[in-house]
Copies of this chain bind each other. A is one copy, B any other.
Amino acid sequence: MNRKIRYGMVGGGRGAFIGAVHRIAAAMDQQIELVCGAFSSDPKRSQASGADLFLPPERCYGTFEDMIKSEARLREGERMDFIAIVTPNHLHFRPAQLALEQGIHVLSDKPATFNLSQARKLRELVRKTGLLYCLTHNYTGYPLVKEARDLVRAGKLGKIRKVIVEYPQGWLATRLEATGQKQASWRTDPKRSGAAGSIGDIGTHAENLAEYVTGLQIEELAADLTTFVKGRKLDDDGNVLLRFQGGAKGVLHASQISVGEENNLNIRVYGEKGGLEWHQKPEGYLEAFANIYKNFANHIRARLEGRRPAKDDPALDYPKIEDAVRGMAFIEAVVKSSRKNAAWTKLEV
């Protein structure tokens, strides 16, 4: 199939942060091209944003509904092959749902949905339609993270005993949302972010990373969430004890009030025979993000060409709907445990 995979974007207009990251990630390997967008709920802003990206005006839509329905009517090879959803959390579900209903593959920023119930609904739709779904837990796109997973999988560490996974940030140590800063505003707003603050925003990355590297699922957890900044409505810090299937123990902590920390995701895994450690800091963030896009696009390409990737084909190595549901179950378990004074709580997927 001699053409690039085509996508449309929901969100990511002028002034947005993560949308631009997604576009770079999509562009980097030159296998994917942006063909349309509903960049903003303000049609003019959507048009202007599309013009910045050299898109023709007729494919810059005012709403995601319009985009999905219009594009679905185009012929294959012209229409978008998948939709990339880069809006705040509360606007993830509906475009994902509609796209799946219209036969369009879906890539979504994390966390997958506003709550666990929505994630389960998407899982149903994905199963029913057979379409592809990708959740951009971009940290699993790092080559060294994949190497870590491979080492564990190959048994080099022996049976896993202990996992420490950390995600400290410091940018919300003061009440930044009160200044109108856009990123802070929606992330600290229960109506747009969901039931959790830091745990939803970055704790889910830590959870996904721990499960990806170890190949083990978190069975139960005991969580102590705190809101340190006065007036804030969601947690800005969380410390969590973990118990994995098979007996491994762990600690997960995520924080957005850890002054001096920028984006210090890291994990340590100790097994009976060996240990490993990975820190996010020095590596290529964009390249890792691009790997998620590339693998997903290659899976779509295989579909379009009628091929079925082999089990170990990298085209299958991206976070899927099951990861999406687990992430939402993690958020709900953490919040529930913390409300019960850190009582042990199981993940219900």
Listed in ascending order, the chain A residues whose CB lies under 8 Å from chain B are 2-4, 23-24, 27-30, 34, 51, 53-54, 157, 161-162, 164, 166, 168, 170, 173, 222, 224, 226, 228, 237, 239, 241, 243, 249-251, 253, 255, 257-261, 268, 270-277, 281-287, 341-342, 344
Contact = CB atoms under 8 A, between A and B. Distances in A.
A251 B249 contact: no
Contact of A226 (B157, B249, B273): B249
17 contacts: A2-B51, A4-B54, A27-B28, A162-B228, A162-B237, A164-B253, A168-B270, A222-B222, A222-B224, A222-B241, A224-B249, A226-B249, A237-B249, A251-B251, A258-B275, A282-B283, A286-B287
A2 B284 contact: no
Nearest to A341: B344
B239 A2 contact: no
Contacts of A30: 23-24, 27, 34, 53-54
- One complex includes copies of this chain to the number of 4
Q: Is the interface of A mostly helix, strand, loop or mixed?
A: mixed
A226 B34 CA distance: 51
A258 B241 CA distance: 17
Contact of A270 (B29, B54, B257): B257
A237 B162 CA distance: 9
B286 A270 contact: no
B344 A342 contact: yes
Contact of A258 (B162, B226, B243, B341): B162
A251 B270 contact: no
B239 A250 contact: yes
